[in-house]
Structure 1
């Protein structure tokens, strides 16, 4: 067997067999991908004060919340960087190597995606990617942009980890793939828990099969159905508690979240998203779905709609239904699914929706970032744009926090919309990672027993908001505008602080968010403590970082 530390050797044979046209591009991209993963590891180690990081690293520049730029050469591989840091963890080394391999393949696949988008933009007479997106429906806009967010999580060194997938799986189901599929199983009523998702979907896709009497139709990701279920649920298939539904499938487009897919249009012209269990490790978590998430999602969606009533500039992609299969032996997460609403009919003429994770991606049409294209369209300078963006993002989040909800508003879960490039509205999606401060929350929905989203510690709720919205979200945009747009970073954080000061924030929340040091989610520390690949959604670990909003 080839060494697990050699991505070229591991991937080469499979690429030669399944996509030989990508092999040279993959090899060319590997040094860049390895460098990105290594620098993210070292940056995280610096913020989290891991190993020898503070002794061996000499940052060329420091940004807000202890983000650092590391110029000059870095160790040749993430494994070598771990050695230099004095961290010995074979599992993490494997995950980092996997991330570099997958990122290199993502870069290689971008060449074809970029060429296609340039051709489409030329055919549409669009001078930039925004102009092409404006010709599409809202959910198609999202998919167009999400395929450009090649590097994944902007702070996590394992942002492109997909442990459990081989090269053919990546080619079929990863975020650069134009299409994946959703299959179905019939679940005996006594094992089915939650909403009848099959009946809901059959209303829009009447060709889907009707399950036998006493069963419910349950959607399953095609990879999960083919790879995980046959062995793990062999006893239930043998007992006819689960029945495969033949070749019944729906076409779907993968999103950056992988386990969340956009379904093909139904007979009513509507498009919905399915969040499906996917038993692979992405970042540090296996992406299956808890029973609690399937039951809490619709109730939390209703709560958010109630709390945000009267906010005309906020959209929610609601979780309308969810279901799971209850099985013994810790198998209750593997066939869970959640139906989420889309942007069909929600956007105004000329309004363009861009997932936050794509804002710093490179547009193949102009060669500039998506964010740079927006500045040109809007005719705004970086500081004015940031001021308008922060004024769109933060007030509704602070309003929710004052009511007891810490929304997980990182880039992947946030979808700003623009009119002529100017920030116009913002949509939020995927509520499984938020935190509800139950003592503060009036009319809290009943949560599934053992749900991790509820907390009695108000600082847990505040840390969730501060890390995702200010550090991972606005921090990424500020860093990008400083590096590419000539923005003065101190002025940027003063503008954000002004928005915070003027918003309807609870005074104690405001003090927490503007304290000299604030909690930063310790992504690598959590991975080292957890051992990697646990269920996800549990207790977060934080370290203090310097807050640029304190002095602003």
Structure 2
């Protein structure tokens, strides 16, 4: 491994973090500095691979080719990943994000064995297992970016902290929009004419600063007390006792996006949950799906309307069978070898069974005009003795809906005006599912099965193609698109460099005849 440079902006950022750790967490200082080279190399390898995959730099020797023009390198080739962006990142904005990711990954690695939550239910167990995916998103080089947090914030609220707090603000009824989350949580607003709105502990100061006038005129009121909660890998989604979740506005940048929540997301969640539940009930494989619904949500339209939003989400506690184990998708690459061995060690059989669990219901939903964002982070497959058993799906904010297909299939859905989850472009709809379920999800598992059980990749994709071919209810047009010679890839680095929304580039498709 290449040693971390002792000069430059990364070294300066590391020195600032080390100084903060010396004051606030001295027991982590040595581990932080010791893990910096590993963190820089991990982020650098992901960045190097993404630059080649997105045709931003030429392919260099030493990489291993995989499906969808994915090339993985054994090392970053540089001490500071930002060196890979020379001549590419003209503003330096993306370089800042990369450096931030390195620093935060080094902190996470230093804390790897600290503050693990006690796991006595499937939801707490899932959070515990999420910490195996310490680098975050399996393809994004900014999986550990937390722009807006300083070192003390990371120590207090990141996944490895193991705990954080939910505070409450009383909101005057006429300025509150949505469901009464305080009632669901059993929190009294203390005064008639108000409703309780939960807020992330870090976000509380942001709300106080941005909306001082609303506290002054009585629109918002401080409420004493708090609830302890466990941060998940999504950071803004917090686990409460009893297997309930709250997704709260958190105005920091994680990977590519600032994690505040739109009014539309708070209002669309219940309607989407109801529609998906109906479709799951009607699906021949519906008994193998568990939807983590979003039954309630609320926002405060002041300002951008994103600062005080919150969404309730159901969990898995009380819904699993005694021998059923839920594993968050992010942790699956780290556990897949053991799972296959539990079933007898045949990776081809295991992959076929897993693909049959994952793809058919998603492909049939596509025909209804719904493309779920089924990357690893949004899926919690369950297993019995290593065998794929059921699939839990969570987080509805990233899906795409095609109004024409929905109408043609006989569905009506009242969405919040201007909701960005709708598209009239069939290409956009299909690309959402294809990138998340095929490239980011199955693509990762195929690579890992090659590492753990020497499964040939060409054979693996042939198995996956067979499942697609055999899926009843998949339209001919969708099948043709999914098995075309090229397929759109979500260009994560190009998106950050451009500062825009989704950008796709064509990549070779292993599912093509």
Tell me the TM-score range normalised by the shorter chain. over 0.9
How far 1:44 sits from its partner (Å)? 1.1
1:98 aligns with 2:100: yes
How far 1:378 sits from its partner (Å)? 2.1
256-265 or 379-388, which moves further after superposition?
Answer: 379-388
> Aligned match of 2:43 in 34, 37, 42?
37
Q: Equivalent residue of 2:505, what SS?
A: strand
> Aligned match of 2:382 in 410, 413, 417?
417
Tell me the TM-score normalised to structure 1 length.
Answer: 0.88
> Aligned match of 2:148 in 157, 164, 167?
164
Query: What corresponds to 2:235 in structure 1?
Result: 258
Tell me the TM-score normalised to structure 2 length.
Answer: 0.94
Unaligned 5+ segments in structure 1 are 121-132, 203-207, 266-270, 361-368, 532-538
1:513 aligns with 2:488: no
How far 1:446 sits from its partner (Å)? 0.8
Alpha-carbon distance between aligned partners in 1 of 2:37 and 2:448, rounded to the nearest angstrom? 22
How far 1:210 sits from its partner (Å)? 3.0
428-437 or 380-389, which moves further after superposition?
Answer: 380-389
How far 1:11 sits from its partner (Å)? 0.6
Does structure 2 conserve the Cα–Cα contact (< 8 Å) formed by 1:171 and 1:177? yes
Aligned positions of 1:321-340 closer than 5 A? 321-328=296-303, 330=304, 332-340=305-313
Aligned positions of 1:237-316 closer than 5 A? 237-246=215-224, 248-265=225-242, 271-310=243-282, 311-316=286-291
1:217 aligns with 2:196: yes
Does structure 2 conserve the Cα–Cα contact (< 8 Å) formed by 1:4 and 1:94? no
Does structure 1 conserve the Cα–Cα contact (< 8 Å) formed by 2:289 and 2:392? yes
How far 1:449 sits from its partner (Å)? 0.8
Alpha-carbon distance between aligned partners in 2 of 1:239 and 1:176, rounded to the nearest angstrom? 39
Alpha-carbon distance between aligned partners in 1 of 2:9 and 2:191, rounded to the nearest angstrom? 46
Alpha-carbon distance between aligned partners in 2 of 1:359 and 1:458, rounded to the nearest angstrom? 31
Query: What corresponds to 2:324 in structure 1?
Result: 351
How far 1:401 sits from its partner (Å)? 0.5
Query: What corresponds to 1:493 in structure 2?
Result: 461
How far 1:88 sits from its partner (Å)? 2.3
Alpha-carbon distance between aligned partners in 2 of 1:157 and 1:70, rounded to the nearest angstrom? 13
Alpha-carbon distance between aligned partners in 1 of 2:62 and 2:422, rounded to the nearest angstrom? 38
How far 1:59 sits from its partner (Å)? 5.0
Residue deviations 1:76-103 (CA, integer Å, cap 9, x gap) = 11211111x6432311111100000001
Q: Equivalent residue of 1:257, what SS?
A: coil
Query: What corresponds to 1:190 in structure 2?
Result: 174
Q: Equivalent residue of 1:181, what SS?
A: strand
212-221 or 64-73, which moves further after superposition?
Answer: 64-73
Query: What corresponds to 1:455 in structure 2?
Result: 423
Alpha-carbon distance between aligned partners in 1 of 2:370 and 2:75, rounded to the nearest angstrom? 42
1:341 aligns with 2:314: yes
Q: Note the aligned Cα RMSD (angstroms).
A: 1.6
Query: What corresponds to 1:472 in structure 2?
Result: 440
> Aligned match of 2:138 in 149, 154, 161?
154
Residue deviations 1:8-29 (CA, integer Å, cap 9, x gap) = 2121111111111111111111
Unaligned 5+ segments in structure 2 are 1-6
Q: Equivalent residue of 1:456, what SS?
A: coil
Query: What corresponds to 2:72 in structure 1?
Result: 69
Alpha-carbon distance between aligned partners in 1 of 2:175 and 2:53, rounded to the nearest angstrom? 45
